[in-house]
Chain A
């Protein structure tokens, strides 16, 4: 199956260690998740902007049981809704603390995008964030 460009180019960015957000060429507004037409002005001329990678953690969850098929080996893992400084938001994985768990994480923590190896992006094409120690 061939992925739409708005998906493959986002993932290519992750593989290069970049977090891309969609930018409308017509009105300049940013969109996440990337869409086929700008939700603000309906233009189909859409490109990308590299995110500074900093955001606020709106909420997070640590899954310990009941993984969907294919994810059992990842348990436990943490997911978070991150509000980026650019004014858009997305769901991503959260890197664990040094002890392998997420006990230091709190809502409204500052988080930053973490580049992961291209092979890991291939396996799990999603953004990863890490808590920034205050």
Chain B
């Protein structure tokens, strides 16, 4: 069991790593966009948001894509340095990869670099184009990556089946009905109506529509499975001292984090209704000194409703077993007691691969910077919980962010 230890930077440390800008383009199916074009676009948007230009960045950190190995190689081999005119200037460019939770681990990596002085300003970039790719190729790719080829691939396991295994156990353990599970998707869809970048903006959803849609992987209906989407986001982190020097008034910092890798293969998860959320959350509370009552809102990975509802319970945001009913009561809705996934989440903004969690992270940062579009900017936005996971839901990552 990993021991807990304190964050070695505080609000007043000059090397406290802070978020100072974000950038994003719409998620959905955009066959006419291009990988490098999208990355360049969000890089420049994030820099503009941070009142910076490329020359202010010393380190570029890349979030992986899932649609193309060749595009991945471009990122690894530092293409974005050259695209942004930083050849000869940038110190380093590299990729961090842990599947869906990459966003959380990239924050830790960038934070560590800044706190130690290995970097001063880190630009983090993400783009996914699997929404425009051949669907069967993507399904097959997902069944071969992150699923043990010797032990589980022969069963025909694929990503919706993984979601179904978790959902079935969650429903059994908590007594949640199909309608209660569907209400999670309905809450997320309400938020998507308020996000101009969301794939499902303009497409409202009811519980009846979800439970009447085709059964894809029992107990999951088609309308509660995520849609693969193209998308891109970026964010800028720098030291507190540099942000102050540049006169940047809006800053967001990391108050603490926790994590738990509970398995690799889904067949080895001890409790599919719990995963690693409780352990990760307890570690985050301990490091930060927060409790669940200290957060104003949360952005939690929602590829499948049961992943989010079990996270809510592990975080202590609701009683054990009540996650789906918490959604069904409208608690997480726009105007509800505790806003959740305010960009519409993976289920309604679009599942942009490793970008799904990154988009949620960026939404959390954007809300805390008070720069979301007025229709969805939360009034109370000082502290938020970011919940990350992915793949076979092998790890649960919890980041606690606060406005400085």
Contacts and interface: CB of A to CB of B under 8 A. Distances in A.
A and B assemble together? yes
28 contacts: A59-B169, A60-B168, A61-B168, A62-B164, A62-B217, A63-B160, A63-B216, A63-B217, A64-B217, A65-B214, A66-B158, A66-B216, A68-B143, A69-B136, A69-B140, A74-B156, A79-B155, A79-B156, A79-B157, A79-B165, A89-B267, A89-B270, A91-B151, A91-B266, A92-B155, A93-B156, A107-B168, A125-B154
In the complex, which of the residues A33, A79, A89 has the most CB atoms of chain B within 10 Å of its own CB atom? A79
B267 A90 contact: yes
Given A58-B169, A89-B267, 4 more contacts: A63-B158, A77-B156, A91-B267, A108-B172
In the complex, which of the residues A60, A61, A68 has the most CB atoms of chain B within 10 Å of its own CB atom? A61
Contact of B155 (A4, A59, A69, A91): A91
Contact of B154 (A66, A67, A81, A124): A124
A12 to B, nearest CB: 14
B148 interface: yes
Task: Place the interface of chain B in its size category.
Answer: 35 or more
Interface in A9-62: 32-33, 58-62
A113 to B, nearest CB: 14
Contact of A63 (B136, B156, B173, B214): B156
Given A61-B218, A79-B161, A90-B151, A71 B156 contact: yes
A81 B269 contact: yes
Contact of B150 (A3, A61, A108): A3
Contacts of A7: 150
B223 to A, nearest CB: 13
B156 A33 contact: no
A66 B172 contact: no
Given A68-B139, A81-B267, A91-B267, A59 B154 contact: no
Nearest to B162: A61
A62 B140 CA distance: 18
A126 interface: yes
Given A61-B168, A64-B218, A33 B161 contact: no
In the complex, which of the residues A65, A68, A89 has the most CB atoms of chain B within 10 Å of its own CB atom? A68
Nearest to A68: B143
B220 to A, nearest CB: 8
A80 B266 CA distance: 10
Interface of B is mostly: helix
B113 to A, nearest CB: 33
Given A124-B154, A124-B155, A63 B140 contact: no
Given A33-B148, A92-B155, A64 B140 contact: no
Task: Place the interface of chain A in its size category.
Answer: 35 or more
In the complex, which of the residues B169, B173, B220 has the most CB atoms of chain A within 10 Å of its own CB atom? B169
Contacts of B214: 64-65
In the complex, which of the residues B144, B164, B168, B270 has the most CB atoms of chain A within 10 Å of its own CB atom? B168
Contacts of A80: 165
A107 B267 contact: no
Given A59-B272, A62-B218, A67 B148 contact: no
B265 A65 contact: no
A86 to B, nearest CB: 14
A89 B267 CA distance: 7
Given A81-B165, A107-B168, A67 B156 contact: yes
A59 B269 CA distance: 11
Interface in A107-124: 107-108, 124
A126 B144 CA distance: 16
B164 A61 contact: yes
B359 interface: no
B1 to A, nearest CB: 15
Interface in B224-280: 265-270, 272
A15 B270 CA distance: 28
A64 B266 contact: no
Interface string A77-110: 1011100000001111100000000100011100
A59 B272 CA distance: 8
A45 to B, nearest CB: 21
B166 interface: yes
B152 interface: yes
Contacts of A89: 267-268, 270
Interface in B139-189: 139-140, 142-144, 148, 150-152, 154-158, 160-162, 164-166, 168-169, 172-173
Nearest to A93: B155
Contacts of B169: 58-59, 107
A64 B168 contact: no
A2 B173 CA distance: 42
Contacts of B162: 61
Contacts of A4: 150
Contacts of B142: 68
Given A59-B166, A63-B217, A68 B267 contact: no
